[in-house]
Amino acid sequence: MKGRLVQHLFSCFDFSGRRRLEAMRPRLYRLAYAWCHDASLADDLAQETLAKALGRSEQLRDEATLEGWLFAILNNCWRDHLRARREYVDVEELDELVFAHDESPERLYAKRQSTLRVRDAIAALPLAQRQVITLVDIEECSYAQVAQVLDVPVGTVMSRLSRARQALKKDLARDSLHDGRAHERPQLRRVK
Amino acid sequence: MNGPGMNGTASDEFLNAFLDGELTADESEHALRLLDADSEFRGKACEVRGLKDRVKGAYADLPPMPARGGTSLPRPGWWQALAASVLLVVGVSCGWLAHDQSGKKAATERLAGLPEGYQPVTLAGKVDPNKIVLHLDNNDPTRLTAVLDLAEQLLARRGEKGHVEIVVNSYGLNLLRQETSPYRERIGQMASRHRNLDFVACGQSVARLNKEGVLVDLLPQVHVVRSAISEILDRMQQGWVYVKV
């Protein structure tokens, strides 16, 4: 008990450790944003992740794994948030969760712009696929790292990535057919 | 990793792993050969490559983080420039689909200074035969010599307008490591003689060696990229000719 307290105090005063964690904030924010597409929630999730990381820095054995360790904490914070917000208890179900945005004339116009269009397509992916593709493409994680962060086998990472890219390709190809016309999507739905 | 089957069609997983830099050296080599030989594989590779760029680009320019004590934010202008450059890459990679078989033939035939036995490979519709990326992934002493000889011959034929990049990964890394390179001096001389010659090492191979406890000390002329495969694909996309040594 005393040992833990000392360790905790030590970690609180470990300024270089703090700086290293703080330096990761923009990346955590970007990844969280890619998962939830909500700036203030992404900021909260990044903050919560860093706070938890500070408190648990004794868990981090190897400096080289800092990124993966933080991404795994972020994943837990995000799941906790979803569980608290909805009545979901089954984590398997969380993986199928799909988000979508409100449609407004402004958004519809902006959708023609590639960036928002791609974000919408990613937002429409089931959560599990969205997490894998953003970790691989935005954070350039290896498959093994992703497997560790999300606590799933590498084979699952590969099949989710494959499905995510298929779906994105299909979704984005629709653009050229319909010239950016919005497709109807409910606010928040579960897909079985 | 499940490679392509007997009928020649590669699985999505294989293609993804190739573009995500997850294949072994042998598998990558096989995939690079497929790129040249299999137009369907090439088309799909272009598509996934473009998709990767678009996903990354879509999150380059984010709504600013709500201000929190002590956190400095990057200037918006910088982010916008980055986003624009990513979109540019997307534009270029889409040109990849418009692969011109006849243009390619002509370009590789024009590849002056390349001895018999080497196979030039190109991807982009527009090929610049003055720009060549040489790929080395093994430690065979004759190939270590050959890659340097080849670079010098190719540059000699092209003069100022030529550009050669030597990209090494896997065991090929030995060519550019202080402790293993038999050509430290020669590489130093070549680098100072030719401004248009670059020595590039694969960051993934370096990381792998570091992980195995081997401290990698590269020659001062070398710069490190994230992965050899993406570097090669980028170059090919920009119209460079690829030659495996």
Smallest Cβ distance to A169: which of B51, B74, B226?
B51
Of A115, A143, A172, which has the smallest distance from its Cβ to B83's Cβ? Answer: A115
Contact in structure between B122 and B243 (CB atoms under 8 Å): no
Helix (H) or strand (E) run with residue A71 in it: helix A66-85
Q: Does A23 touch chain B (CB under 8 A)?
A: no
d(CA B120, CA B122): 7
B137 within 8 A of B26, measured Cβ to Cβ: no
| For residue A16, pLDDT beyond 90 | no
Helix (H, G, I), strand (E, B) or coil at A19: helix
Residue of B nearest to A113 (CA): B58
The verdict on a CB contact (< 8 Å) between A115 and B61 is yes
Confidence tier at A3 by pLDDT (50, 70, 90): very low
Contact B22 A143 (CB under 8 A): yes
Beta-bridge partner residues of B197: B164
A125 reaches B (C-beta below 8 A): no
Structure tokens at A155: 């084979």
3-state SS assignment for residue B223: strand
pLDDT at residue A46 greater than cutoff 70? yes
Q: Are A20 and A66 in contact (CB under 8 A)?
A: yes
This prediction has a pTM of: 0.57
Per-residue confidence band for A14, with pLDDT thresholds at 50, 70 and 90:
low
By C-alpha distance, the chain B residue nearest A158 is: B13
pLDDT per position as a tens digit, A86-140: 644 454 555 665 554 444 445 545 555 677 888 989 999 999 999 999 999 999 8
Instruction: Find which of A158, A159, A160 to mutate to test the B interface (most B CBs within 10 Å of its CB).
Output: A158
Tokens of A4: 């833990």
| Structure tokens given for B31 | 């995939």
Q: CB B63 to CB A39 under 8 A? A: yes
Answer yes or no: do A29 and B62 touch at CB < 8 A: yes
Which residue is closest to A32 within chain B, CA to CA?
B59
Question: Which has the closest alpha carbon to B45: B239, B245, B243, B237?
Answer: B237
Q: Which residues pair with B222 in a beta bridge?
A: B199
Question: pLDDT digit string (tens) for B197-241?
Answer: 999 999 888 988 888 888 899 999 999 998 887 788 788 878 888
Main-chain dihedrals φ then ψ at residue B2, nearest 5 degrees: -80, 115
Task: Considering only the beta carbons, identify the residue of A25, A116, A137 that sits closest to B55.
Answer: A137
Closest of A118, A142, A102 to residue B17, by C-alpha: A142
| CA distances in angstroms from A125 to A92, B28, B51, B121, listed in the order given | 15, 29, 14, 36
